[in-house]
Homo-oligomer: A and B are copies of this chain.
Amino acid sequence: MHDSSKSRAASATLPDVQKSPDTRNIPIDKVGVRRVRFPIAVLDRSNEKQHTIGNFTLTVDLPSHFKGTHMSRFLEALNSHGREVSVDSLPALLHEMTVKLHAEQAHVEVTFPYFMLKKAPVTGKEGMMEYTCGFNAVGNGECQVDLFARVPVATLCPCSKEISDYGAHNQRGWVTVRVETRGHVWLEELIEMIEESASCALFPVLKRPDEKWVTEHAYENPRFVEDLVREVAIRFDQRDCISAYEIEVENEESIHAHNAYAYLKRAK
């Protein structure tokens, strides 16, 4: 289907519209590609490579004097860079992007499903639990990589428990964090700090003794969204490696069709 000599010839004669000068005098903060799906391997804490699928946004700045960027080079950089993605490997990808695209600064945002093997609290039955994690890297040679995690948990309402003769409404809640680090922090650590802050963690497999345990554990640990956002903040404050963070909690209230929400941003 393709003929490389013909292709080279063709390429040489085809005009490069993107490279043409632009007179509107407007530099653009970020230009690139989004929703790029790519199979990757992430190194997890148990030192195994976890195969997953990245959803990438790759961008660079564009100076005012160029009409456009060369979008295909983002994909070439991603393909050539290989499939292993980590806090340590992202600076090289950023650097390659700035070189290939003649840019000052590059951004890589990637999110991916991330699995942890999780044991039921009483029977120890194992299953795979999914979280959405990610990295947000910006820079050139020197670069900053922030961590992202989105973790489902159970929350039980302290007010409902206090005022009711029996029972208490509870629900699935979602905790989303973006964390700036100044040392190594595992995604697993973020997930564990979040799960500890909730009324109870979620589990993939629960037999009846486990279900009894999680029901009673949640009842013993009621949490408003306000409590949950503060409990996560306390744990992040205790870790020197975490230099700044954003925490969002959204509870899919089981008594309403709308959600309860709390948001906290802090730089240490």
A interface residues (Cβ-Cβ under 8 A, vs B)? 1-4, 6-7, 10-11, 14-18, 22, 24, 26, 28-39, 50-53, 57, 59, 62, 67-69, 71-72, 75-76, 79, 113, 115, 119-130, 152, 154, 156-160, 162-172, 200, 202-212, 214-216, 218-219, 224-227, 229-230, 233-234, 250, 252-265
Contacts and interface: CB of A to CB of B under 8 A. Distances in A.
B30 A164 contact: no
A219 to B, nearest CB: 3
A241 to B, nearest CB: 20
Given A17-B163, A163-B212, A214-B255, 14 more contacts: A1-B119, A7-B210, A15-B163, A24-B234, A26-B233, A28-B263, A35-B259, A67-B226, A68-B158, A129-B257, A164-B216, A167-B168, A167-B170, A171-B171
Nearest to A231: B24
Q: How many chain copies does the complex carry?
A: 4
27 contacts: A2-B123, A7-B123, A11-B207, A11-B208, A14-B209, A14-B212, A15-B163, A24-B230, A28-B229, A28-B262, A28-B264, A30-B261, A30-B262, A32-B261, A34-B259, A35-B258, A53-B130, A68-B227, A72-B205, A75-B127, A154-B254, A164-B219, A169-B215, A171-B171, A203-B256, A206-B255, A211-B255
B6 A122 contact: yes
Contact of A250 (B18, B34, B124): B34
B227 A33 contact: no
A11 B224 contact: no
Contacts of A205: 72, 75-76, 79
Nearest to A10: B209
A260 to B, nearest CB: 6
